[in-house]
Amino acid sequence: MKTCIAYFSKTGNIKMAAEYLAQKIGAQLIPLVDKTNYKGFIGFMKGGYKASLSKSTDLGSALYEEISKYERIILATPVWAGKTTPTINAVLNNVDFKDKEVYVMTMQSDSDFGDADKREAFYKEIINKKGGKFVALYSLAGTSPGKPPREEEDIISQVDATVTIV
């Protein structure tokens, strides 16, 4: 099945997971670039504020069309403010998910994955409302804000243990 992994990563944790999964299952990687400056404490506050209000960023229509060419779409993103990122909100709002199989892979500092069921319900509702088929959400453990990313082997073992896509 023609598969893409559209990912947004600020500090590199979910980028490693997306890159590993892409080569493991033979998926096309689509990096999502948010031009907003999220660096430092002010950037962290800005990111948390925008995420908490479910704000969306503009990624350009060509990118939305590119993602919608795939039959199976994997969205990969950090958890921000208990929710998703402005980048992934843009994808959720603008990509045509009709008849697509959609998976979500998230990365967060909370390794207990609190409220993952609420995030799953959020993605499921939006994607299914747009005619897509939400299949699963996979939660992975990243690092605390401001800390460097985890070791690659750690990320790889989490993907192998958690993600059931083949």
Ligand X SMILES: Cc1cc2nc3c(=O)[nH]c(=O)nc-3n(C[C@H](O)[C@H](O)[C@H](O)COP(=O)(O)O)c2cc1C
- Distance CA(28)–CA(11), nearest Å, equals 21
Question: Nearest-CB residue to ligand X?
Answer: 142
Burial grade of 24 (CB within 10 A; 0-12, 13-18, 19 or more): middle
- Distance CA(158)–CA(11), nearest Å, equals 17
Q: Which stretch binds ligand X (CB under 6 A): 23-31, 57-65, 122-130, 137-145?
A: 137-145
Cβ-based neighbour number of residue 129 at 10 Å: 10
The answer to whether residue 47 forms part of the interface with ligand X (CB under 6 A) is: yes
The answer to whether residue 110 forms part of the interface with ligand X (CB under 6 A) is: yes
For ligand X, the closer of residues 10 and 100 by Cβ is 10
CB of 96 to ligand X, least distance (A): 26
Binding to ligand X (CB under 6 A) within 147-166 occurs at 149
Distance set, CA 49 to CA 1, 20, 108 (Å): 37, 30, 17
Q: Which residues bind ligand X (CB under 6 A)?
A: 9-15, 44, 47-48, 78-82, 107-110, 142-143, 145, 149
